[in-house]
Amino acid sequence: MYVAVKGGDRAIENSQKLLDEERRGDPRVPELSLDQIREQMSLAVDRVMTEGSLYDPELAALAIKQARGDLVEAIFLLRAYRTTLPRFGVGEPIDTAKMAVRRRISATYKDLPGGQLLGASFDYTHRLLDFALAAGDERPVAEIAPEGVESGMQHVADILDHEGLIEREDPDDENQPVFDLTRESPRYPADRAARLQNLARGDEGWLLALGYSTQRGYGNNHPFAGEIRVGEVAVEFAPEELGFPIEIGEITVTECEMVNQFKGSAQVPPQFTRGYGLTFGHCERKAMGMALVDRALRARDFGEATEAPAQDEEFVMAHSDNVEASGFVQHLKLPHYVDFQAELVTVRALRRKAEAARAIADAAE
């Protein structure tokens, strides 16, 4: 009915005003600036950029502010904004071997060339709440070494590759297109490019849980964190009007290479196999989950049994996107009055039938 629609309009408008007020919180407390979010909630910004699939720290900070810190909502906002922008083209693949490394660890080699760089990490903190921080952050000062980190740090996988102990990751044919799920519908079986793009945008919680499931035995792949590195890489792009590639800026990325148990064949002696994770910003847990799931999804390529959920690519890929998942779950809140009326009619009819059947049975006794 028309009247009901008008009533809904006002309620929605007022709900949004209330939302704005609650977002702001107590007006006596200073308002958050985007700079504060970008600088002091930087890991939230990184997650929103990665899963929102758009590298822009200011926009991610705005999305976080607008979403009141609800990161999945912020990811939705960034994805929606993304659709309003034209795409100038596709960049050259980033070269993580040339990364300006700020953190680099390996669980497979103690003394790897270039060394273990802890960088800024929660790993060795005691996870005790810091009440000094609650009282106000005294300007912390990092230690500064006399020299920087050596450049062009070798990947751990290259060390194993010299001995032929690990499968090689060779470039694909540059003339072939690369699957893009923002332009094409998913096809199954999916190729690795489609899987990696899906996982790169995928929900961190989903990948964490699926990766964890593989460690607990659901598609066990015996992983070692071969290498995790975080740092800056250049983004190169060749504009048509120039005809040659130029660097258009730098992005921070996290890369994880998982080294997994062996596969061999009549032609190739047993080798370690690999799983790969890559994210925008510093999203280490996500990169590790992604690398575990990437390896699990390669089960078919290696002729392994595909019995566990993490090895089922359609199951994994079709449910990884938190914008889609959130949309479909939350649409249940929308009015389903007519559907529900139909169900009411059905359940009443079924009950009448059941009652009638019981009455006949009672009469027969």
Partner 1 sequence: MPTEHSSAATPEQSAERRARQRWMSILAKAEFSDLDTLWNNLPSKPTWTVVRLPEIGMVMARGRAGGTGQRFNLGEVAVTRCAVQLEFGAVGFGYVMGRNRRHAELAAAVDAMLQTPSRRDALERAIIAPLTLRLDEKRLNRSRKAAATKVEFFTMVRGS
Could you say whether residue 247 binds partner 1 (CB under 8 A)? yes
Strands laid side by side in the 224-237 sheet: 100-105, 224-237, 246-263, 271-280
Q: Out of 251, 261, 263, 318, name the contact with partner 1 by CB under 8 A.
A: 251
Q: Out of 201, 282, 285, 286, name the contact with partner 1 by CB under 8 A.
A: 201
Task: In angstroms, give the least distance from the CB of 318 to partner 1.
Answer: 18
**286 Cβ contact list (under 8 Å, min separation 6):** 47, 50, 204, 207, 208, 254, 277, 279
Other Cβ atoms less than 10 A from the Cβ of 48: the count is 33
Interface of this chain with partner 1, residues 120 to 179, rule: CB under 8 A:
120, 142-149, 155, 157, 168-172, 178-179
Task: List the one residue out of 34, 37, 49, 47 whose CA is nearest residue 81.
Answer: 49
Q: Out of 192, 222, 263, 319, name the contact with partner 1 by CB under 8 A.
A: 192
Task: In angstroms, give the least distance from the CB of 41 to partner 1.
Answer: 19
Task: In angstroms, give the least distance from the CB of 14 to partner 1.
Answer: 33
Q: How far apart are CA 31 and CA 22, in angstroms?
A: 12
For partner 1, the closer of residues 148 and 303 by Cβ is: 148
Q: Out of 10, 28, 87, 331, name the contact with partner 1 by CB under 8 A.
A: 87
- For residue 172 the two structure tokens come to 């694909």
- For residue 340 the two structure tokens come to 């529900």
Size of the site for partner 1 (CB under 8 A): 87
Q: Out of 9, 20, 39, 250, name the contact with partner 1 by CB under 8 A.
A: 250
Interface of this chain with partner 1, residues 4 to 63, rule: CB under 8 A:
49-50, 53-56, 58-59
Q: Out of 82, 222, 263, 319, name the contact with partner 1 by CB under 8 A.
A: 82
Residue 183's alpha-carbon distances to 179, 180, 186, 215, in angstroms, are: 8, 6, 10, 34
- DSSP conformation class of 118: -
- For residue 219 the two structure tokens come to 């598609």
Task: In angstroms, give the least distance from the CB of 236 to partner 1.
Answer: 5
- DSSP conformation class of 179: -
Q: Are 112 and 156 in contact (CB under 8 A)?
A: yes
Q: Out of 236, 304, 312, 324, name the contact with partner 1 by CB under 8 A.
A: 236
For partner 1, the closer of residues 49 and 308 by Cβ is: 49
- For residue 317 the two structure tokens come to 């890929």
**78 Cβ contact list (under 8 Å, min separation 6):** 48, 49, 52, 53, 54, 56, 59, 60, 63
Report cis status (omega within 30 of 0) of the bond before 189: yes
Could you say whether residue 100 binds partner 1 (CB under 8 A)? yes
Q: How far apart are the first and last CA of the chain?
A: 51
For partner 1, the closer of residues 25 and 115 by Cβ is: 115
For partner 1, the closer of residues 86 and 335 by Cβ is: 86
For partner 1, the closer of residues 90 and 329 by Cβ is: 90
Give me the residue label for tokens 């800024």. Answer: 120
User: Which region, judged by CB under 8 A, interacts with partner 1, from 202-210, 227-235, 339-347, 348-356?
Assistant: 227-235
Interface of this chain with partner 1, residues 309 to 348, rule: CB under 8 A:
none
Give me the residue label for tokens 């890929």. Answer: 317
Q: How far apart are CA 283 and CA 287, in angstroms?
A: 6
For partner 1, the closer of residues 23 and 231 by Cβ is: 231
Taking CB under 8 A as the rule, which mask of x and - marks residues 267-286 in contact with partner 1?
Answer: -------x-x-x-x------
Task: In angstroms, give the least distance from the CB of 166 to partner 1.
Answer: 9
Task: In angstroms, give the least distance from the CB of 187 to partner 1.
Answer: 15
User: Beta 246-263 vs 271-280: how paired, if at all?
Assistant: antiparallel
Q: How far apart are CA 327 and CA 321, in angstroms?
A: 10
Task: In angstroms, give the least distance from the CB of 208 to partner 1.
Answer: 19
**13 Cβ contact list (under 8 Å, min separation 6):** none
For partner 1, the closer of residues 133 and 246 by Cβ is: 246
Q: Out of 196, 292, 296, 308, name the contact with partner 1 by CB under 8 A.
A: 196
Task: In angstroms, give the least distance from the CB of 119 to partner 1.
Answer: 5
